[in-house]
Structure 1
Amino acid sequence: MSDFAYAYARPSILERSSGGNTLSLAAYAEDTPTGASCFFWGRLRDSWLAARGLTTLAKVVASRFVPQSAALRDPIVTAGAGMLRFEAFSSCNGVYARLDLGPDALDGEFLSSGTTNVDFNEPMVNALARISRTEPVLLSVGEKEVVLERAAGKVTERKVTLPERWIKGLTAVQGYLAVMEDKIALSRVQAVQLVQSIPAGTAKSDFFLVLRGPRPSFAPVGSAGAVRVGGIHRLRLLEGLLPLCEGVRVFATPDGQAAAFVLAMGGGQEFVLALSAKVNRGFSGEGNQLDTLMDELPAEWIVGANNLFRGNETFNPTLFAVENNLTPDTVERLCASLSAMGLLGFDLTENHYFYRRLPFKTDRIIKLNPRLKNARALLETADHVQLVGIGANGRTEARVRGTDVWHTVVVGRSEPARCTCSWFMGNQGQRGPCKHILAVRMRFL
């Protein structure tokens, strides 16, 4: 799969002057052929704190917890509903980070809504680290004027790409965040002491965050109420922010496949760090939305939901279902279809979705979910998915043709699905269903 190509007309820069500083973030939006116009222009109310958040975001982008992972990429920022949301993944794709700047953090004007890449070059990141507590900083995301023709030699153009695995990662993260439960609340002191307790080096096994009385700690074995964190050394990314936060809320999925740490920074600022269950598991390969994407919705439903969410910019799924007389299952399928195109994110604190203005391309649903594509391909040949029998409680057994062998698939309404293929044997259903299980469910359930 190819990446999406971008070109910045100029590098991002922190310009210093006697009247104050201006942080100009070069932008490029995929759905705007000439590049991005100016999304926001105004003052950061607490520029020092925002700079610490942006510096931590850059630290996440530059981190790599799996040696063979890809090179770092620039973050994306979504402007809408009076907020700026900066999002990024680690180079290994197993850590997701987001800095939210709300209305209380900004004093300026949203000139347009949109989602864009922003250039996070090294000189700009280094300049952010040098911002003092009292320095005023103006923030510009994009440019007030879109330049269609540029004089040679007067601007610097830097070619970048947004990997397709980022879109897949955004889909998986949104799916996990939307079902997470609020598990543990930590004070600033507790959070700092907890991260300081992490042993030096790389954690070789999974760890769980537990509360023993008032004291949080990490344990190698889970217990009631514990949160699976996986490789705890990844939490060192938060070392620079934890002493500045007001508190931390820890969220986790019911199945323990992802966890999120939400730092309340005060002044309308919030930082989110989400971790995959294991260090060597990137979010882009999770497939946690595949069950929901199995049954295609009418195209006009997806188009209608996209138009509505694009206009509203945020929405609560429960209220949306009630107001539009839709079942929760239908809303879940609509959200999964839009998030599979990278269009939806989820705000844990507000318990609602937010909209990213990326191109509405329904072909990405299949293109970025090869297991779903391959399952449908199996169904195109009549004898590739064969029913063996139906037992008690709707237990269905089937045979599915593999590359050179037949695989046995068992699915049921009251038990986890099973398959004899190597994907299932290696992951035991923890990274979404294999193509064989998907094909059987689509044909017989």
Structure 2
Amino acid sequence: MDLADLDIEYRGISSLTHTSGINQLVLSHQSEIEEDNHVPCFFWGNITEPFLTARCLLTLSKVVRSSFTPIPPRLLDPIVSAGTGQLRFEGFSSCNGVYARLDLLEEAIDGEFIASGTTNVDFNEPMLNALNAVKKEEKMILGVGSKNVSVSTEKGTVTEKKVTLPARWIKGLTSVQLYLAGMEEKFSLNRIQIVQLFQSIPKGTTKGEFYLSQRASKFMWSPVESKDAVRFGGIARLRLLDGIATYFQNMTIYQSGGGESVAIVGDLGKMRFTLALSPDNYRGFSGEGNVLENMAVEVPEAWVHAMNSLLKSNEQFDPTMLSVEHDVAFDTMDALTASLSSMGLLGYDLHSRQHYYRRLPFRAERILSLNPRLKNAKKLIDENGVVFITKEPGTIEARVEGTGVKHTVVIKGGLSKCTCDWFTNHQDKRGLCKHILAVKMMRA
């Protein structure tokens, strides 16, 4: 099986039907994790602002159907997490350089949460066309997790279809929240400033980076960096928000510690929309490799199952409280938090500045197959390819097998170096090389 894609088949199809003045939206789901067959869906109820919700879902669909590299658009299916009184829809662009999330808060939904979980959902053309036709005064009933075989719409009957579940967004989920968790708030814009900002975005396909700075109450774009300016690579990607930006009541801009990745959180009253951009068009979140060091400490599968039993989807993840309540050492909990985050089990909410739990719709062991450097590091350890020369507190030197050569790895304090080509070319910009990773895994 090609590790880049997983062929899966939905038990039903997503649809939005119009009956007696009520729009009924049903999202078909798929999961590798066995579910309780007695639970027909995760959530069923009313959407209090159907028009705005429809616009946001269409924007999310625009993200997953877009690509800003030569890779053709092929990711069609966002994921949804239901639990703790809210729904979260997430998705990545086909190039994995754009991450989008729609948070429907408690005020945006009026219904019953039958179960808690995270699944991949099918956004097909008939459902998107119906969403586009939703009016402001209409009612909408949302069901997440239907097992219907087929559904009829106004334009006819939509039959069950087989789709491809791309593994790239699984890798994206294991890295994007690490960027979000390291971001700091830079600017806060009101409604007028938001409109002015989007009107001033350079037209066409612009190359290179642009910098956003504030002068008095006005925000301005410039190709020249200035003090306290926020860098935007691939600025044309902001056009993905054109359909909903005018509805933002306010908007907050965040920037990563390295000053490259950025995120925008738009406040829509009863819901929030987050858009995160990788450093540039050609760099996807899933390719950065910044999660590998956190995965050096292996999490027992029993712990993952225990977390699934203990926490609900969207539940806030408070490591301090979990440590106290379950008598887990703080150091152990820190390692667990990093590992769970790196596996995609934890998302990050910039607005609340907290992690939230996400139930995996895929098996945890798939993470290894999606990270070749991690897999190769484990292979080096299994084949005794790592020999420690110096192993003292604060300083480690090791010889690690390479292709026809032995590489030297030196770890001193928080700095790591290797003599391999990967480290020479990327330094610390694209994550650890397999040699440094193997040494750190043996140390752990």
Q: In the alignment, which residue of structure 2 is the partner of 1:190?
A: 193
Cα distance in 2, alignment partners of residues 35 and 253 from structure 1: 44
For 1:184 and 1:299, the matched residues in 2 are separated by 41
Number of the residue aligned with 1:288:
290
Asked if the contact 2:213/2:219 (under 8 Å) is kept, the reply is: yes
Q: Distance in 1 between matches of 2:96 and 2:109?
A: 30
**2:221 matched residue in structure 1:** 218
Out of 139, 142, 146, the residue aligned to residue 142 of structure 2 is: 139
Please state how far the C-alpha of 1:374 moved relative to its aligned partner: 1.2
Q: 1:340–1:365: 8 Å Cα contact kept in structure 2?
A: no
In 2, the alpha carbon distance for the partners of 1:35 and 1:75 equals: 25
Does residue 275 of structure 1 match 2:277? yes
Provide the identity percentage: 51
Which residues in structure 2 correspond to 1:107-122 (within 5 Å)?
A: 107-122=110-125
Question: What is the letter of the counterpart of residue 314 of structure 1?
Answer: Q
C-alpha change, 1:338 and 1:359, in structure 2 (3 Å) is farther
Q: Which residue does the alignment assign to 1:336?
A: 338
> Residues of 1 paired with 2:131 and 2:105: CA distance?
20
Deviation per CA, 1:226-252: give whole Å up to 9, x if none: 333221111111111111011111122
Give the counterpart of 1:25 among 27, 39, 55: 27
Work out the CA distance in 2 between the residues paired with 1:426 and 1:418.
12
Which of 234, 238, 244 aligns to 2:247? It is: 244
Deviation at 1:8, TM superposition (A): 2.8
Asked if 2 retains the 8 angstrom alpha-carbon contact of 1:400 and 1:406, the reply is: yes
Distance 1:72 1:109, change over 3 A: same
Describe the superposition over 1:119-138 as per-residue Cα deviations: whole angstroms up to 9, x where unpaired: 21122212212212111222
User: With structure 2 as the length reference, what TM-score do the two structures score?
Assistant: 0.88
- Distance change (3 Å), C-alpha of 1:443 and 1:31: closer
After superposition, give the CA deviation of every residue in 1:297-320 in whole Å (9 maximum; x if it has no partner): 455545444432348833233444
SS of aligned partner of 1:288: coil
Unpaired segments ≥5 residues, structure 1: 149-153
Q: TM-score, normalised by structure 1?
A: 0.88
Structure 1 residue matching 2:41: 3-state secondary structure: coil
Residue of structure 2 in register with 1:375 after alignment? 377
Task: Give, in angstroms, the shift of residue 27 of structure 1.
Answer: 2.4
Supply the AA of the counterpart residue of 1:167: I
Q: Distance in 2 between matches of 1:195 and 1:251?
A: 17
Q: Distance in 1 between matches of 2:308 and 2:202?
A: 46
In the aligned structure 1, how far is the partner of 2:181 from the partner of 2:403? Answer: 36
Do residues 418 (structure 1) and 417 (structure 2) align? yes
Contact 1:9–1:155 (Cα < 8 Å) also in 2: no
How far the C-alpha of 1:396 sits from its partner, in A, is 4.1
Q: Give CA deviations for 1:281-311 in whole Å, capped at 9, x if unaligned.
A: 1111222221122123455545444432348
In 1, Cα distance between equivalents of 2:166 and 2:160: 19
Q: State whether residues 45 and 110 of structure 2, in contact with CA within 8 Å, keep that contact through their aligned partners in structure 1.
A: yes
Which residue type is aligned with residue 402 of structure 2? G
Q: AA paired with 1:371?
A: R
1:369-389 deviations in Å (ceiling 9; x for gaps): 22122112222334x334556
Deviations 1:319-362, CA, capped at 9 Å, x for gaps? 44455565654333213333444322222212333333325744
Q: Which residue of 1 aligns with 2:386?
A: 385
The alpha-carbon distance between structure 1 residues 390 and 333, as it changes in their structure 2 partners (threshold 3 A), is closer
User: CA 1:179 to 1:326, structure 2 compared with 1: closer, same or farther past 3 Å?
Assistant: farther
* CA shift for structure 1 position 147: 6.4
Cα displacement (A) at 1:182: 2.0
Give unpaired runs (5+ residues) of structure 2.
151-156
Amino acid at match of 1:433: L
For residue 170 of structure 1, report the CA deviation from its aligned partner: 0.4
**Residue correspondence of structure 1 range 35-184 to structure 2 within 5 A:** 37-69=40-72, 71-143=74-146, 156-184=159-187
Q: Take 1:321 and 1:104, find their aligned partners in 2: how far apart are those partners?
A: 32
Q: Secondary structure at the match of 1:342?
A: coil
Distance 1:237 1:329, change over 3 A: farther
Q: Name the residue aligned to 1:151.
A: none
What is the CA deviation profile of residues 102-154 of structure 1, one whole-angstrom value per residue up to 9, with x for unaligned ones? Answer: 110011112222222222112221221221211122222233x6669xxxxx8
Q: Which moved more, 1:372-381 or 1:3-12?
A: 3-12
Q: How many residues are aligned here?
A: 436
Give 1:390-401 correspondences, 5 Å limit. Answer: 394-401=394-401
Between 1:25-34 and 1:268-277, the stretch displaced more is 25-34
1:233-273 deviation line (CA, Å, top 9, x unaligned): 1111111111101111112221235221111011x211011
Tell me which residue corresponds to 1:258.
261
